[in-house]
Amino acid sequence: MKPKILITGGCGKIGSYFAKFAAAQYAIRIVDKVAWDTRKHGPLPGESRLADLQDLAACREACEGMDMVVHLAADADPHADFMGSLLANNILASYNMFRAAKDAGCKRFIYASSVQVASGYPADIQFKRDMSVRPKNLYGVSKCYGEALAAYFAYTEGLPTIVLRIGAYTSPEKYGRFSLAEIPVPCLVRYILVKYARSNADALLAMGPLVFQQMEGLIAAAEAEDSDRARLEANDGLSQIVSWLRAGMGE
C-alpha cells in the first residue's frame, strides 16, 4: 500500500507538479480552495477536495488517514496585506494544519517556507543557516512564524517536521524554452566569484582593477555580439582569468 500524502495548495503552480510527480510513489490527496483543473494540469493524480484551511475542522478532516502533509497553501505575494490576507491564509491556516496533522497522527509535516525570511539582509551578505531570520516584508514575517511553529511542533509535540525555504520556481514545460543566449553574461562572473570564494576567499584581495577590466571587456564583447558562441567564449575567457584560483569550473 502506498503511503498517503496530503498536499495543501495542490492546485497551485508548485503543488500541482509535485502531485503529478509523486503520484507513482504516494497516494495523493489534494486540498485547495479551488478545484483541480484538468485542462490546465492534466488528469487528476489522486483525490481532490475543496477546503477552507482557516477552518480547523476542515483541516482535521483533510488530515484524517494521512501519513504525511506537504503544506504549500499560502498567499505568496510579497506585497500581500497582513490583516486582509496573511493573517488568515498564512498564520491561522498554518497553525490549523500543524494542529490537525499532529492530532491525526501524521508521521511527517513538510512546511513550505520562503527565502523571504532572509530577504532583509544586504545583497553582499551571504545568508547561512546559523544566521537569524531578517524579513523585509510581512509575507516574510508570516513565513518566519511558520518556521517557528514548525520548531514548536517538532521539538515540543514530537511531530517530525521539515522546513523548505523555496526561492524561484520554473514549471517543467518552460525548461525547453531557454537558450544559452538568454542567460545574462554577468551571471558568469558571479558564478566564477562564488566558485573561487568557496575555494580561497583570500584570493579576492589579489584581484586588482586590471583583472576586473579584463572581465568587463569579455562581458561587453559577448553582449555586443549577443550570440551563444560569444557567450561561451566569454565563459572560457573568464575561466582562464581566474584559473589560478583553482575554482573547479567543471563542477
Nearest to 62 by CA among 114, 1, 112, 10: 10
184/146 same-domain check: no
Q: Does the pLDDT value for residue 152 go beyond 80?
A: yes
Q: Does the pLDDT value for residue 158 go beyond 70?
A: yes
For residue 251, tell me if it sits in a domain. no
Question: Which of residues 194 and 153 earns the better pLDDT score?
Answer: 153
pLDDT cut 70: percent of the chain above it: 78
Characterise 21 by phi-psi region: left (phi > 0), alpha (psi -120 to 50), beta (else): alpha
114/205 same-domain check: no
Which of the residue ranges 79-83, 147-151, 156-160, 207-211 would you say has the lowest mean pLDDT? 207-211
Q: How confident is the model at residue 205 (pLDDT cuts 50, 70, 90)?
A: very low
Helical H runs in the chain?
A: 13-22, 38-41, 56-63, 93-103, 138-155, 186-199, 209-225, 228-241
* Domain end marker among 173, 203, 221: 173
Question: Which of residues 91 and 203 earns the better pLDDT score?
Answer: 91
45/107 same-domain check: yes
Q: How many domains does the chain have?
A: 2
- At 7, which amino acid appears? I
Q: Does the pLDDT value for residue 137 go beyond 60?
A: yes
Q: Does the pLDDT value for residue 82 go beyond 70?
A: yes
For residue 156, tell me if it sits in a domain. yes
The stretch 155-180 carries a mean pLDDT of 78
For residue 116, tell me if it sits in a domain. yes
The stretch 61-68 carries a mean pLDDT of 97
CA distance 62 to 68: 11
- At 26, which amino acid appears? Y
53/98 same-domain check: yes
Whether the CB-CB separation of 36 and 58 falls below 8 Å is answered with no
Q: How confident is the model at residue 191 (pLDDT cuts 50, 70, 90)?
A: low
Question: Which of residues 1 and 197 earns the better pLDDT score?
Answer: 1
Question: Which of residues 200 and 113 earns the better pLDDT score?
Answer: 113
- At 175, which amino acid appears? Y
Strands of the sheet with 27-32, listed across from one edge: 47-50, 27-32, 4-8, 68-71, 108-114, 161-166
Instruction: Give the per-residue pLDDT at 219.
Output: 77
Whether the CB-CB separation of 72 and 7 falls below 8 Å is answered with yes
The stretch 175-199 carries a mean pLDDT of 53
For residue 15, tell me if it sits in a domain. yes
162/196 same-domain check: no
Mean pLDDT of the chain: 83
Domain that holds residue 240: 180-245
39/127 same-domain check: yes
Q: Does the pLDDT value for residue 251 go beyond 60?
A: no
* Domain end marker among 127, 145, 173: 173
Write the CATH number for 13: 3.40.50.720
169/188 same-domain check: no
Tens of pLDDT, residue by residue over 221-245, are 877 887 777 777 877 777 776 564 4
For residue 250, tell me if it sits in a domain. no
* Domain end marker among 139, 155, 173: 173
